[in-house]
Structure 1
């Protein structure tokens, strides 16, 4: 591969060819006429070719010079466009967040409303993308679940969620809670079945087993949903008891839309995490979001750890096995 001539000499040549005048090129570039002439000579020496001819008091490009100039114009236009794109990106207030739909809808979005109000002027784009290897141009951050390196270059764990049963307040007849977990079998159960798209959260049989209950026979499920957010909404609408991720119901519990009828929390196998590209943290809004999302993840992790520790006392001891006939 042939070595390139000096870039500055090419830039000067491109300007001279554009104006057809060394003096006008010097004026445009903010350098002296002598400096322009020196760069032109340097380029011709590097190429071992003559690029201009005298035309009275002016100079013009010869055939070789004209061919080179066409290519130089194209190359420098591309460079100018690329530089302008970088400047626009630096000045942009856009924040592009890609996420699994349910964690975005039920955990991240409600938190980000307040974040954006306090910052002001940030143009947020939320991409509810099921594909955990986003190739879309411009993605700043990706919220994912699982182990491994993540779809983007950098990764930080946010929190390891847990599941608890949830239903509307008053859904349990005669009380707000059940005395034993198997009491929930008397009510319609909502299940989340997300395979084969991604790993499912623990199932109702998993949860009952974690409570120390052995259920004799299959557990009747009244409604099966592929989306956690749809399942939670079904519970809010009074369709049954959902086994939901705590992060996805905490705002609904605080708002009085849902209650936890039996306090036993079962942790998920893997954490939620945020990943990001190497080049996004030079944007102020991305730096701010990066700090903010990690802080919110830590807060959520502390709340989950407190819930798991607090609810261990409410669940049946592991050595206590209750046999109940389902259905």
Structure 2
């Protein structure tokens, strides 16, 4: 066996062993499933040992594979940590912030100029995505997540709770324009945000049992598109109250249920537990909490 370890093959082995799936490992490594399979075969040929057995639920480590996987997993984690330390020595610190596109466009981005004025040496990179990022990989420094605040193993601070209201075109729910309970919303077509998170979380927060109807319906990446669809009579939409205020005042929409928004259903600022010790992360956290408490 040569002295140089097959790093690509070992990385593929670690990812497949951790995830139990060639496809999931390929997605994590941003390569094709075929490339991962080839690396696993190369590694098994090199060491002369079978590392995985195939089962109905996916791939399982053999005894030999399981005996070395923890050490290799720790080794790659140490490499990632070392690379992160190198990146932190740059003259201009860089901060990567991940959040959903609507929040980035409507709230975060218009305010970033004030952060740059206060901290001109900190470069900010905003990732607008509905995907739930894995903070353990170290690629994202701060995540602004929309949900109920349950993010185990991470430092979580409540940022703000936008007031969302269920709205519809006048006449869609009958002449009285009001529903009696949150469950009544399930009897209508629901219009969703891009990641289909708002309605299911809203129902859960109001004690409604899980129901497949809560996840059905057309989804829109932008809240203003949601409002347009609701105005067209396509269903009920759950939108920020301030976005629908003009439409309600003009009679183009009606609020169909007078329910206060749950206090824990909010935007949360999420970081790794020790990340806020870094000056650039602390500066951003302090600034955004100040912005969230401001008048607008």
In the superposition, the TM-score normalised over structure 2's length comes to 0.46
Query: Is the radius of gyration larger for structure 1 or structure 2?
Result: 1
